[in-house]
Structure 1
Amino acid sequence: MKNKYFKTALFAALAVAGLTSCKKDKVEEEVIAPYDVPKTYNFAGANYASSTIRVKQMLELDVYMKTANAGTALDAAKATNIFNNTNNPFTEAALNTSGLNLAAKTADATTFKTYLDNLVAHSKINAVATNGTAGYIVRGTAKIIVGAEGLENGQAVTKGMMGSLFFKQALDLLAATKTDGTIALQQQHWDEAFGYLAVPTDYDPSVTYASSLVFPAKPALWGGYLAERGQNITAGKIIFDAFLTGRAAIGAKDVKVRDAQIVIIQDIWEKLAANAAYNYVLSPTLTANAGNLGSQFHALSEAYGFIESLKYRAAGSKLTDANLLKLQSIIKTNFYTLVNEAGFTKLKEAQTILKDTYALPALN
């Protein structure tokens, strides 16, 4: 059954100046008709093709970067072509001819291109990494490619760009709906923002999507993290429902409800990034991971990207600028130093900042 929203707005009429007789102010009632909030994102005319294209481009870049972990020496030209969408680098032809690329919409694009270039260079080093020297580190039955201080540059690219591109673009588009002059433009921007969440139109947070499925039939990037790091804060249901409600409210000219959904999406999406970062600064300090540099550095590299994502949070965030700078300072510490520090002082400080700021549930 669809949800229905009802809203009444009251406007007081001004008293006419110069009247000598006493009259009560007239009150006119403007009623917003009841409207449906559907269960799926199948609104008439919804179009978020540009967001979907960039999600697919990011997924191809991620797949290519991970081939380095299997021993492939990455090609600098190919990596650059994927980042900029030049010289037909994608396996899906439509991505090549889309006229869209990752670089143009990525905040701090030069920084993330540097991470990518570093990965390309390090993929050519067929030697075990040590403190001060790039190379590979064994992780389980596989390996990861890290820089001189232990950072897995591929994770810095993927998780960092989830923030600097998808999260930032989505929040910017949602904020723009408040100033867009027409319903059509508001709907367009809302749809594009939804596309950056990267979930199916019939997304169900209770479903475990088969590994055989591919995006957009199953969630990806942030959509995947709704399940991986968002279940304990019910992020999937809250954000998806807010996107549905807000889109329906735009069509009904229900500005108050629309704006309320923007705040919900901003807060919970940011909390999702913080919860992921919290998981990944906690993991290296657990007894089960002690001395396992592959697992510890992989987790810290993911934390690195998610903490950078918080840089693009909306105004009014619970996270102060001072605490963000502290988190960045901690996660940019040499990873060998972080995991060998007595009592994990710095990592525990990061855990406390994230947990207390966002009231995150405790993890074991």
Structure 2
Amino acid sequence: MKTSLYLFAGLFLLFFATSCEDDDDITPSLDVPTTYAFSRDGASTVSFSGQSERIAMAEELVSSFTDFSQTTESLNNMFTNAEGTNPFTDAELNASTKSIRSKVAASSELFAANSVLSAEIKEDFDGWISAQVNEVFPAQSEVAEAGTPGQIADGSSVRYVNAWGLEYNQAFAKSLIGGLMYDQIANHYLSPLQLDSGTRRTDNTAGIVETDESYTAMEHRWDEAYGYLFGASEDETGPLTDLGSADNFLNKYLGRVNDDEDFSDTAANIEAAFRRGRAAIVAADYTERDAQASIIKDELSKVIRVRAAYYLMQGKAALEDSNMGGAFHDLSEGYGFVYSLRFIDGTAGEDIAESYLTTLRNADGNGFWDIDPAALETIASEIASSGGFSLEAAAN
């Protein structure tokens, strides 16, 4: 009897030990650094220079929208950075092989199988460039009115709008937040379609690095996502120190949303998820990697929704105060954020965004000049509801 008990106890301990070993294989231990710093054999494995370059290119392009000496060709050259054009004031950007346009509406998840839609979206951006030069530039000294482009006062600032009140520079910049930054982060580099493409998962597990590099292909893809948000940060390993001022795109508006006490944990959640997800890749824990990617996507989609609702409500308030210049500026920013909604809900986002944009264009009337303020609140309320937050929280 004793022999049977000893045998049973021994088998139990063996089973328990084996189970623990199996659990360790299934759930690797993560070594999450306190900053976004990862290395292999003493060399940093973090690289996202291409993303930093595109952010810098976009900054100069958007700034040039209100430089009336520019031409359609010069602005298009900044957008495409075609070889030999040297469109930028920064020689390093001119020498770069990167471009903005090639990465607009170019994610694996949304556009790999829909080149027609990708081309249509790129053409929207092309159209805003040509319209700025052909419609707004000639009317620089004209006072805008319904049906006529020109300048309109907004406090101490002067805004330049098209015939129905839209600032093309604001539409372009805010749409780029969704069409470039968010789309590349959420729908491309954080997608398993990129992270696990080809042999990337097995290579990463085995620690096989890219030729002449210190990082694996999977590590690099994750870092490239990080770069579209924090690639212009002064301290790229601790990017929250200058959050909101590092660039005028997704980083800026993450900062704005994070400054709202209703959403004050947003930036910390994203930054921590980037670090933890990257550590999970190092540990070959792909379940944890995907969990952190989901956090990043959810939080960044919230940023776009919050700012869309915010600007629509700001525009509504300004219209009701007969402050047309302020209203048009807010609505132009809101227009771009609404355009960006098409990138955050998969294929469903396209139809929703286009429906809202049709309302904002108010083609049967005079655009922003006589749009119904109640329609703006309706759209803002629907956006807030879809994001799981209150309109009051977004609008303050």
TM-score (normalised: structure 2): 0.76
Between the aligned partners of 1:78 and 1:321, the Cα distance in structure 2 is 30
Kindly indicate whether the alpha-carbon contact (under 8 Å) linking 1:137 and 1:145 is maintained by their aligned counterparts in 2: yes
Aligned partner of 2:138 among 124, 135, 148: 124
Kindly indicate whether the alpha-carbon contact (under 8 Å) linking 1:177 and 1:190 is maintained by their aligned counterparts in 2: yes
Q: Residue 43 and residue 136 in structure 1: after superposition, are their counterparts in 2 closer, same or farther (change >3 A)? A: same
Between the aligned partners of 1:313 and 1:230, the Cα distance in structure 2 is 19
Aligned partner of 1:312 among 343, 357, 362: 343
Cα distance, 1:297 vs structure 2: 0.7
Q: Identify which range, 228-237 or 320-329, moves more after superposition.
A: 320-329
SS at match of 1:253: coil
Q: Residue 230 and residue 145 in structure 1: after superposition, are their counterparts in 2 closer, same or farther (change >3 A)? A: same
SS at match of 1:349: helix
* Alignment partner of 1:192 is 2:192: no
Kindly indicate whether the alpha-carbon contact (under 8 Å) linking 1:74 and 1:124 is maintained by their aligned counterparts in 2: no
Cα distance, 1:202 vs structure 2: 3.9
Query: Which structure 2 residue ranges, 5 or more long, are not aligned?
Result: 1-14, 40-44, 106-120, 205-215
Kindly indicate whether the alpha-carbon contact (under 8 Å) linking 2:244 and 2:251 is maintained by their aligned counterparts in 1: no
Q: Residue 173 and residue 291 in structure 1: after superposition, are their counterparts in 2 closer, same or farther (change >3 A)? A: same
* Alignment partner of 1:112 is 2:143: no
Kindly indicate whether the alpha-carbon contact (under 8 Å) linking 2:57 and 2:78 is maintained by their aligned counterparts in 1: yes
Cα distance, 1:331 vs structure 2: 2.4
Matched with 1:7 is none
Kindly indicate whether the alpha-carbon contact (under 8 Å) linking 2:170 and 2:333 is maintained by their aligned counterparts in 1: yes
Q: Residue 104 and residue 252 in structure 1: after superposition, are their counterparts in 2 closer, same or farther (change >3 A)? A: same
SS at match of 1:136: strand
- Structure 1 residues 1-364: aligned runs within 5 Å: 29-31=22-24, 32-44=27-39, 45-67=45-67, 72-86=68-82, 87-107=85-105, 108-121=121-134, 122-125=136-139, 126-171=141-186, 172-175=188-191, 176-179=194-197, 180-181=200-201, 182-183=203-204, 184-198=216-230, 200=233, 201-203=236-238, 205=240, 207=241, 218-232=246-260, 233=263, 234-286=265-317, 290-315=321-346, 323-333=352-362, 336-338=366-368, 340-341=370-371, 344-361=373-390, 362=392, 363-364=395-396
Kindly indicate whether the alpha-carbon contact (under 8 Å) linking 2:243 and 2:252 is maintained by their aligned counterparts in 1: no
Between the aligned partners of 1:328 and 1:337, the Cα distance in structure 2 is 11
Residue identity over aligned pairs, in percent, reads 27
**RMSD of aligned C-alpha atoms?**
2.6
TM-score (normalised: structure 1): 0.82
- Once the two structures are superposed, residues 267-320 of structure 1 have per-residue CA deviations (whole angstroms, 9 ceiling, x without a partner) of 1111100101011000022269721111111111111111111111154x9x76
Between the aligned partners of 1:124 and 1:73, the Cα distance in structure 2 is 11
Cα distance, 1:167 vs structure 2: 1.0
Between the aligned partners of 1:210 and 1:34, the Cα distance in structure 2 is 33
Cα distance, 1:208 vs structure 2: 5.8
Cα distance, 1:360 vs structure 2: 2.5
Kindly indicate whether the alpha-carbon contact (under 8 Å) linking 1:284 and 1:339 is maintained by their aligned counterparts in 2: no
Kindly indicate whether the alpha-carbon contact (under 8 Å) linking 1:323 and 1:353 is maintained by their aligned counterparts in 2: no
Query: Which structure 1 residue ranges, 5 or more long, are not aligned?
Result: 1-23, 212-217
- Structure showing the higher strand proportion among its residues: 1
- Structure showing the higher helix proportion among its residues: 2
Q: Residue 292 and residue 29 in structure 1: after superposition, are their counterparts in 2 closer, same or farther (change >3 A)? A: same
Between the aligned partners of 2:48 and 2:226, the Cα distance in structure 1 is 7
Between the aligned partners of 1:341 and 1:328, the Cα distance in structure 2 is 12
Q: Residue 237 and residue 95 in structure 1: after superposition, are their counterparts in 2 closer, same or farther (change >3 A)? A: same
Q: Residue 321 and residue 59 in structure 1: after superposition, are their counterparts in 2 closer, same or farther (change >3 A)? A: closer
Cα distance, 1:42 vs structure 2: 2.0
Between the aligned partners of 1:271 and 1:349, the Cα distance in structure 2 is 18
Kindly indicate whether the alpha-carbon contact (under 8 Å) linking 1:178 and 1:259 is maintained by their aligned counterparts in 2: no
Cα distance, 1:336 vs structure 2: 4.8
Cα distance, 1:74 vs structure 2: 2.8
Q: Residue 254 and residue 94 in structure 1: after superposition, are their counterparts in 2 closer, same or farther (change >3 A)? A: same
- Once the two structures are superposed, residues 20-52 of structure 1 have per-residue CA deviations (whole angstroms, 9 ceiling, x without a partner) of xxxx9x856141443321222222211101111
Cα distance, 1:134 vs structure 2: 1.2
